[in-house]
Amino acid sequence: MTTILPSAQTLAESNGIDWYALRGTGEGGVITEEDVLTHLAAIMMGHVDAPLTPVDAPPPDWNGVIDLDPAMLQAAGMDQETLQMVGEAAASLRPAAPDPVPAAEPAPEPAAPPAPVPTAAPNVGPDPVPAVPAAPSKGGLSGLLGRLYGRQDTERAPAPAQPHAVPAAPNLPAHPPVPAPSFIPAAVVSPAESPTTAPPAIPVPVTPPEVERPLSERVPQSTPVSAPSVPLPAPTPAAAPAAGVTAWRGTFMRRSDPVPAYTAFKTQLEEVLGTTVSDTLLIAHAAQRAAHLTGRAHVTYLDGQAVLTPDLPLRQAALRGRPAERSGDILIGGGPVTEFAQQPGGLLLTADVHDGLLSLSLLGEVDVQQGAAFLAAIERLLQRPIALLL
């Protein structure tokens, strides 16, 4: 049974994570907050698929049609022409009434089967069938089974010898014997039951009883042998956990949008500068322009190329410039960033552009509405990347 700390369960359920699939690292396999936050960091880096966002179900009494009140729309300031267009669109979306189902015609009554025509029984043959002595009838299932078994024995028995041979008429063809009816009613004479012989008994070999031997004979005598002393290996010390690895806490958000304009802008920029420009560097500049939406001011770039400033230094020296810092209000990285400690109130933003699709992940202590507005502003800036040069 999987166990989880209450605080870790609250953190997992608030981010939509199925904590039953996590592996706990606490005592006895207990899932801790560190396990949930490490799973969130793996989702943010794209190693694990993000949980699906639940969608509220429609009201149970909704029929799928949106009825708009014309009086309400007119009072809101909608002109007559627009009001007429809305009414026509709503009428076209309203489901049509089903066609009336015609009444089913009554089924014809089945015709009565014709009465059977009696036919004369054919002449079976010149050989008379000897009469079988009547036996007392038995009622129920046992009587019926007994008669059926007796009938089968009679069919297998050889025909009795005839006392007098009767010559067959020369002018009559030979007729095959008529088979007996498959069902014999209770009133018909049933053959007598033939006695059955029991199979011969098979002799069983008799095993003589085993005589218990004394305990001294059953237990083998062993000579004690002194084993050589072997020194025990020293216990291997447990590996210490990696220092500096910390888990981030807070709200996790993710957004994906196609950015074809940004892809073309980056291609042209690399042709002009003659060097490769990092996606994370350009996205970090867009995040610097939108950082005020989260109440933060300082952005730190963790890709190891340059420390950002509000202006974009589009020079080759700046692109090969100073190493990155490890502190700031918003940390932006394109690779593993779990080794950087979380600052009080800090945010972690990871970005990736693959085949013209922008993927942004945000984790930290931020309001949901502020975080959504922050990611949307970055996406709008990358849709018009020329704004990064102004």
Average pLDDT value over all residues in the chain: 65
pLDDT digits (tens, 9 = 90+) for 111-131: 556 656 555 555 554 555 555
Query: pLDDT > 70: what percent of the chain?
Result: 38
Average pLDDT over every residue of 141-164 = 53
pLDDT mean over 266-277: 85
Q: How confident is the model at residue 310 (pLDDT cuts 50, 70, 90)?
A: very low
Q: Does the pLDDT of residue 300 top 50, yes or no?
A: yes
Q: What is the signed CA dihedral for 141, 144, 150, 155, rounded to 10 degrees?
A: -130
Closest CA to 368 of 15, 38, 48: 15
212 contact partners, CB below 8 Å, separation of at least 6: none
- 364: exposed, middle or buried (Cβ count in 10 Å: 0-12, 13-18, 19+): buried
Asked if pLDDT for residue 304 goes beyond 60, the answer is no
Domain 6-44 has CATH 1.20.810.10: no
- Sheet of 357-364: strand order equals 251-258, 357-364, 347-354, 330-333, 299-301
| CA distance linking residue 54 with residue 349, whole number of Å | 23
Residue type, 200: P
Nearest alpha-carbon partner for 173 in 121, 129, 119, 123: 123
* φ, ψ dihedrals at 357, nearest 5°: -110, 125
User: Sign of torsion, CA 284 289 292 297?
Assistant: positive
Question: Does residue 63 surpass a pLDDT of 60?
Answer: yes
Residues 6+ apart with CB under 8 A from 338: 38, 41, 245, 246, 247, 248
Over pLDDT 90: what percentage of the chain?
1
Q: In CATH, which superfamily holds the domain spanning 251-389?
A: Chloramphenicol acetyltransferase-like domain (3.30.559.10)
Do 262 and 353 meet the contact criterion of CB atoms below 8 Å apart?
yes
Between these two residues, 69 and 373, which has the higher pLDDT value? 373
List the domain boundaries for the chain: 6-44, 251-389
Mean pLDDT to the nearest integer, 243-266: 77
Domains 6-44 and 251-389 share a fold: no
Structure confidence at residue 219 (pLDDT): 47
296 vs 327, higher pLDDT = 296
For tokens 């980056």, name the residue.
Answer: 266
Rounded Cα distance between 246 and 171, Å, is 116
Tell me the C-alpha distance between 293 and 375, whole Å: 10
Position 240 pLDDT exceeds 50: no
Q: How confident is the model at residue 376 (pLDDT cuts 50, 70, 90)?
A: very high
* Cβ atoms of 332 and 287 closer than 8 Å: yes
Lowest mean pLDDT among 87-91, 173-177, 224-228, 358-362: 224-228
How far is 268 from 25, CA to CA, in rounded Å?
49
